[in-house]
Structure 1
Amino acid sequence: MNSAISIQKLLLLIPLFILAGCSGNDGPQRFDVSGTVTFEDQPAPRGSIVFTPDKSKGNSGPQGTAKIINGVYNTAKQGRGIVGGPHEVLIIVTNGDDATEDAELSGPLAEHTEQFDFPKETSEHNFAIQ
């Protein structure tokens, strides 16, 4: 009978171990990146920017993201930071009507991809799309 009680106690503790392993602090350190995005020499009205670690150059980790609002992006305010190192950066520029909350619904004006090697620290980088 003691072994049945021990098994029941163990089964009750399993969810606690699982929850302890799922804390939000797991994973690689992220760094904030911010800057401007211009489209045809003007601030990009709205859009989004996605930072994907470049596996072909040995970088791995989660993607970073940010919204572009009036030509400015900031992962600390509007998204998630990056792991640093070589990344493929996807920029989607939209005409972004101020009346809409989701700029992507207004349709893309441009999609642009480029490679960039970010430092493993908070940084700033500006992008120009022609």
Structure 2
Amino acid sequence: MPRNTRDHLRMAALSVLLLPLVLGCQQDDGPKRYDVSGSVKYNGEPVPGGAIVFTPDSQKGNRGPQGTARIVDGHYDTARDGRGTVGGPHHVHVIATESTTTEASELQGPLAEHTFEIDLPQEETTHDLDIPAQRR
């Protein structure tokens, strides 16, 4: 067999053997994340749009990546348009807007903004958020 053909066969065999290793390395090796969903209200009314950021509370010994979610028509779900949380104590920062659009021409200032201190379980959960009325 010509040397060039043997080299190609060796490379092909090596590629097949290494494929599972390469695919395994592409998985998210970070901590396990858990999905959080729920409703978001301000002054008793569903929040039309906005965003939520879940930041592990390092002062209480919690570490890991942030979780995120979009608010759409008064509801959020990290499984839909976001990333789950690691569970444990979190600072949950909510920015509520009057619109679900992201078009620059239609963006307005926030309707409300608030940070909650929440201890989330290390499992999929539902947590409703009620933003307190803000003084103007």
Superposition TM-score tier, normalisation by shorter sequence:
0.7 to 0.9
Q: Which shows bigger deviation, 58-67 or 103-112?
A: 103-112
Q: How far 1:77 moved relative to its partner? A: 0.3
Q: Which runs of 5+ in 2 are unaligned?
A: 1-18
Q: CA RMSD in A?
A: 2.7
Q: 1:54 aligned to 52, 57, 77, which one?
A: 57
CA distance in 2, matches of 1:88, 1:65: 12
SS of the residue corresponding to residue 106 of structure 1 reads: coil
SS of the residue corresponding to residue 117 of structure 1 reads: strand
Aligned length: 118
Q: 1:44 aligned to 37, 43, 47, which one?
A: 47
Q: Which runs of 5+ in 1 are unaligned?
A: 1-15
Q: How far 1:78 moved relative to its partner? A: 1.2
Structure 1 position 77 matched with structure 2 position 101: no
Structure 1 position 86 matched with structure 2 position 89: yes
Structure 1 residues 22 and 106: CA distance shift in structure 2, 3 A: farther
Q: What residue is the counterpart of 2:125 in the other structure?
A: 123
Structure 1 position 64 matched with structure 2 position 62: no
Q: TM-score, normalised by structure 1?
A: 0.78
Q: TM-score, normalised by structure 2?
A: 0.75
1:97-117 residue CA offsets vs partner (Å, 9 max, x unmatched):
x5x345993321111001000
Structure 1 residues 102 and 34: CA distance shift in structure 2, 3 A: farther
Q: Which shows bigger deviation, 102-111 or 45-54?
A: 102-111
1:3-26 residue CA offsets vs partner (Å, 9 max, x unmatched):
xxxxxxxxxxxxx9xx77852321
Q: 2:107 aligned to 91, 105, 116, which one?
A: 105
Provide the identity percentage.
56
Larger radius of gyration: 2
1:2-53 residue CA offsets vs partner (Å, 9 max, x unmatched):
xxxxxxxxxxxxxx9xx77852321000000000000110000100000000
